Amino acid sequence: MDYEPIRKVVDSLAVQPNLLDYGATCASFSWEGVRREFAGLPEGGGLNIAHEAVDRHAAGPLRQKLAIRWLGRDGTVLDLTFGDLREGSNRFANVLTSLGIGKGERVFALAGRIPELYLAALGTLKNVGVFCPLFSAFGPDPILQRLSRGDARVLVTTERQYAKKVAGLRDRLPLLQYILLTDVEEDPGEGVLSLPRLMGAASADFTIPPTDPEDRAILHFTSGTTGMPKGAVHVHNAILTHLVTGRYVLDFHPDDIFWCTADPGWVTGTSYGIVAPLAHGITSIIDEADFDAERWYRILQEQRVTVWYTAPTAIRMLMRAPEEQRRRFDLSALRLVHSVGEPLNPEAVLWGERVLGLPIHDNWWQTETGGIMIANYAALEIRPGSMGRPLPGIEAAILWRRDDGTVEEVTAPDVEGELALRPGWPSMFREYLHDEERYRKCFAGGWYITGDLARRDADGWFWFVGRADDIIKTAGHMVGPFEVESALMEHPAVAEAGVIGKPEPVIGEIVKAFVVVKAGHEPTEELRLEILGFGRSKLGSAVAPKEIAFIDNLPKTRSGKIMRRLLKARELGLPEGDTSTLEA
């Protein structure tokens, strides 16, 4: 179905957008010019994310400006100014120094949206360590894989998360030296320490060591369809992308109140839940609680949110709520709504215009890109269902792969191919930790190959077609089938497992597993429920399968690879396509 573009009369917008002339801005843009906007560290002139996001503001007229308003699930409100963030992150940096944790060492966080996580992130960056957030709903297996693969030295978490998920893993994590608990006043045991006690004893003064723009800063894990989770490494120079995307895509202005609903365990929650708004010196709302339509509308009203960044899953859940519920709240302060995480269907864009009074601006990027790459902008028309146009400074293309592995750029409009980006933007990942070969495979013919399929129309708008791999996107979370399959096969009755994403109208996809049972076991309803529970205990509710079907044999290639594409086609009644490599 075709949708009429949503055109905007710029003069009627409440705030004049930062990006008015897309073509002229792209033509004159340079990353070198953006770098000159940052003075750098006072000593040595290096570039450190935490200095540019916090300390430079705290040293000037924004010291007492509200940086973060934290809303606790129990009604608690905590306000942190830029001065507060500077002192709190200094204390955490001093804690790391006192523990002997130095440059390049990995500090993990397993926590929800709590204030300590934000201080830990900024303090780690000040210490020139590498911050790695984990999704708080992960079960023990995903946590173990990431802590092990990431060479974790420090883990910041809560007493409950530690006792439930981490305590039993410590003998398998010889490099993990310290567990810092955010909610205990005394040290529980050897290597398990009270973070409040340590912070209370630490100095509020800290001098950031020399930081090269290419020093490692943030490590995010993204699951692949085969093998272990991939650890994408980003550097301090990434803040240039965060500054530009905050200016041109999210259209930040000095008086904005910004709310990013993403969990900090995912890249959106760090790039846009922490770094970008702080770099712009604006106020962020952080809500500890999970999704609730009534609560969300109340926050938008009471906090006078002006720019809102959320996910398609949340938007679809709001779409299911009665429209009368929305009409009880005053959202007149809101001027921009953005969405990311998976393609936003046209109906959601139009629902936003009808119910919220504003169209929803979709944008596209990946963990590997570190920041928004393609977007719908405040002053440009929206073509419902489109990803939008590339960010100034970003070159995007559609490629075809030849049989010999080389690539050919597609210049004709509306031709499907692999979406690719020209390497060199500041927030591009610099490596997959401990996996150089996999990193090299992401590049071909002078392009970064994103793994997504897309097309570009005659006017330069990009349109998402589908994923070139089997990643499952469920409720805004990315789930790798291999991870789930491996966990299920630890059950004594499971011989093999194949996992797919099954479309679901609210959360995008649910994880469905096809299980082959071992000889001597019967595929009963009782066993199905037992395996479902086993999966939840191993992986956590966000990652574990929601459905399990028993199957006699999994479709495989002759080389033994599971053909998940066939599983999905058969489940949905779709054409099976090429089966020439199917195992006889």
Question: Per residue in 191-220, pLDDT tens?
Answer: 999 999 999 999 999 999 999 999 999 999
Q: Which domains does the chain have, with CATH numbers?
A: 11-15+34-452 (3.40.50.12780), 472-572 (3.30.300.30)
Instruction: Determine contact, residues 409/32, Cβ cutoff 8 Å.
Output: no
Please tell me the predicted confidence (pLDDT) of residue 562.
Answer: 78
Q: Are 390 and 397 in contact (CB under 8 A)?
A: no
Q: Is 44 left (phi over 0), alpha (psi -120 to 50) or beta?
A: left
For residue 8, name the pLDDT band (cuts at 50, 70, 90): confident
- Which tens digits make up the pLDDT trace of 281-299? 999 999 999 999 999 999 9
Q: Which of 256-265, 331-340, 462-471, 566-575 is the least confident region?
A: 462-471
539 Cβ contact list (under 8 Å, min separation 6): 138, 139, 141, 142, 483, 484, 487
Q: Is the dihedral of CA 36, 65, 112, 289 positive or negative?
A: negative
Tokens encoding 552: 């006699």
Instruction: Give the model's confidence band at 225: pLDDT under 50 very low, under 70 low, under 90 confident, else very high.
Output: very low
- Looking at per-residue pLDDT, the higher value among 543 and 427 belongs to 427
**Six token digits for residue 272:** 């846009």
Residue 560, pLDDT > 80, answer no
Does residue 82 register a pLDDT over 90?
yes
Q: What is the DSSP letter of 190?
A: T
**230-244 average pLDDT score:** 97
pLDDT of residue 288: 97
Contact 225/564 with Cβ under 8 angstroms? yes
The token duo for 309 is 């960044």
Q: What is the DSSP secondary-structure string of 87-156?
A: HHHHHHHHHHHHTT--TT-EEEEE-SS-HHHHHHHHHHHHTT-EEEEE-TT--HHHHHHHHHHTTEEEEE
Average pLDDT for residues 497-515, to the nearest whole number?
92
- C-beta of residue 514 within 8 angstroms of C-beta of residue 489: no
Local structure of 516: helix, strand or coil: strand
Query: Could you tell me which residues are beta bridge partners of residue 538?
Result: none
Give just the sign of the alpha carbon dihedral 413, 414, 416, 421. positive
Beta-strand (E) ranges in 245-387? 257-260, 283-287, 307-310, 336-339, 360-364, 374-375
Instruction: State the chain's mean pLDDT as an integer.
Output: 92
Across-strand partners of 192? 179, 189
The confidence score (pLDDT) of residue 323 equals 85
For residue 256, give the nearest of 294, 292, 309 by alpha carbon.
309
Report pLDDT for 580: 36
Question: Which pLDDT score, from 0 to 100, does residue 496 have?
Answer: 85
In the chain, % of residues over pLDDT 90: 74
**pLDDT exceeds cutoff 90 at 316:** no
**pLDDT, tens only, 349-404:** 889 999 999 999 999 999 999 999 999 999 999 998 899 999 999 999 999 988 88
- In tens, the pLDDT along 101-152 reads 999 999 999 999 999 999 999 999 999 999 999 999 888 998 999 999 999 9
Concatenate the DSSP letters of all residues of 310-343 into one string.
E-HHHHHHHHHS-HHHHHTS--TT--EEEE-SSP
- Considering just the CA atoms, what is the radius of gyration of the chain in Å? 24
> Is the distance from CB of 146 to CB of 221 less than 8 angstroms?
yes
**Does the pLDDT at position 171 exceed 70?**
yes
Q: How confident is the model at residue 539 (pLDDT cuts 50, 70, 90)?
A: very high
* Greater model confidence, 202 or 451: 202
CB 284 within 8 A of CB 67: yes
Is a pLDDT exceeding 80 seen at residue 478? Answer: no
Q: Which of 7-11, 27-31, 46-50 has the lowest mean pLDDT?
A: 7-11
Fill in the DSSP letter of residue 388.
B
Structure-model confidence comparison of residues 473 and 367, the more confident one: 367
